[in-house]
Amino acid sequence: MSLASNIHAEPTVARSPALPSSFVHQNRSVDQSDRKVPINLRQSGPTPVEMLISTRVRKSPYWHLSHAAGCWRATVYNRMYHPRGYVRPQDGGAMAEYDALVNHVTMWNVAVERQIQVKGPEAERFVNRVITRDATRIRPMNGKYVILCNEAGGILNDPILLRLSEDEFWFSISDSDLEWWLRGVNVGLGMNVGIAEIDVAPVQIQGPKSEALMADLFGEAVHALPYYGMMEAEVAGRPVVISQTGFSGEKGYEIYLRDATLHAEEFWKAVLAAGEKHQLMVIAPAHHRRIAAGILSWGQDIDQEVSPFQCHLAYQVPRKKMADYIGKQALEAQRAAIEAGRSPFTMTMVGLTFGGKPVTDYAPDFWLISDEGGGEPVGYITSPWFSPELGVNIALGWAPVAMKPLGTKLKVWLPDDYADEPGVPVAGRVVEVPFRPSVNPSAREVAKAHGRDAAY
């Protein structure tokens, strides 16, 4: 074995003589001098352990329903158990779920996207202070993908921001505890707003048949709902908020159930019943599809030590937003350095394709990247998967700024299960992101198509 042990092996790390010792014995074999806490790059493999279900981690209102739907594995996201697999490997695994997503329609339990409400007379002013985009340009019953940064310009969270009314916003958060940050910020600002998590739990309805299913549930008005548009409705007599959004790059929606702790079961069953004629399948969030769309996963691809200028999110830092916001001074200094030809970073995010056997499941480690010569590692992959449409493995990853140009050749060190030859890296190259067009192009794709990096 080389970089990772097999899934059924004992949790020990062995290595091939062909591999440099640093691959196994060092965590910092890649230059991470611009990070305070380096990413753990030790290759430990799947490490067979059993997840402990206990009261230290929350169960969402849909947890028992996901289990009944076949959920056989899970992770923890926002301190809540998060389903990550329904189809067993022997029955096709994650790639069978992918087929349902791109050809039919799927439902995902994403209650882990906890909803943090900001409500009150100064809600817009407060939200505008904590996000980089211009909150004043978000109309009621519309949403936007946004980022919140710390004072150094590091990304603290990249939620979907929903504006329900002039004085009410919901942050549908990614995997970091945003409520505490917002409350702490307002201790200093003292604005007239209430900040709290609310009992709202979303599911995602994603895939080419999603619009037809949503029309069956909510009527013809769904057809007129624009991307990031919202509407109020009911399922099984229970109030919900709908948005045309999602984490897949396919056509899709999110349904936010109010008072979810009370009404989860009747809501879930009503959606399943309506979905039968559309071949609705309950699946895990489709990371294989979001990678192809270039959608980032906080905590996996980015975190609080990453700048939007490092990870294809420059459009989230508008030049024309006059109001002050947290991180603005640092971000503008970074922009000025980049435009002057002086990169303030040692590493940058890249998209890449690479060889080896098809990667058809989650990677247990950040697989290492070397330059074309295959020497010591210089970067690492964060999100790999196989693209059936492209017929090649694709990934998001981090590499030295000098390797950013499209077409740059490199080598990727894969576990034995995926390597063509154990202990020998496979060829790869830097490519354009997204890897294929989205049904609903993201704001980044739209901005790029217009030759600009500014939001809106």
List the domain boundaries for the chain: 22-47+297-431
Q: Return the pLDDT at 1.
A: 28
CATH topology of domain 22-47+297-431: Gyrase A; domain 2 (3.30.1360)
pLDDT at 303: 98
Instruction: Give Cβ neighbours of residue 302 (< 8 Å, ≥ 6 apart).
Output: 155, 158, 296, 311, 349
* pLDDT in 10s for each residue of the chain, 456 residues: 233 322 233 333 333 334 444 455 455 579 998 899 999 999 989 888 999 999 999 999 999 999 999 999 999 999 999 999 999 999 999 999 999 999 999 999 999 999 999 999 999 999 999 999 999 999 999 999 999 999 999 999 999 999 999 999 999 999 999 999 999 999 999 999 999 999 999 999 999 999 999 999 999 999 999 999 999 999 999 999 999 999 999 999 999 999 999 999 999 999 999 999 999 999 999 999 999 999 999 999 999 999 999 999 999 999 999 999 999 999 999 999 999 999 999 999 999 999 999 999 999 999 999 999 999 999 999 999 999 999 999 999 999 999 999 999 999 999 999 999 999 999 999 999 999 887 776 666 666 666 655 432
> What does pTM read for this prediction?
0.91
Give the per-residue SS3 of the chain: CCCCCCCCCCCCCCCCCCCCCHHHHCCCCCCCCCCCCCCCCCCCCCCCCCCCCCCCCECCCCHHHHHHCCCCEEEEECCEEEEEECCCHHHCHHHHHHHHHHHCEEEEECCCCCEEEEECCCHHHHHHHHCCCCHHHCCCCEEEECCEECCCCCEEECCEEEEEECCEEEEECCCCCHHHHHHHHHHHHCCCCEEEECCEEEEEEECCCHHHHHHHHHCHHHHHCCCCEEEEEEECCEEEEEECCCCCCCCEEEEEEECHHHHHHHHHHHHHHHHHHHCEEECCCCHHHHHHCCCCCECCCECCCCCHHHCCCHHHCCCCCCCCCCCHHHHHHHHHHHHCCCCCCCEEEEEEEECCCCCCCCCCCCCEEEECCCCCCCEEEEEEEEECCCCEEEEEEEEEHHHCCCCCEEEECCCCCCCCCCCCCEEEEEECCCCCCCCCCCHHHHHHHCCCCCCC
Tell me the torsion sign for CA atoms 222, 226, 232, 235.
Answer: positive
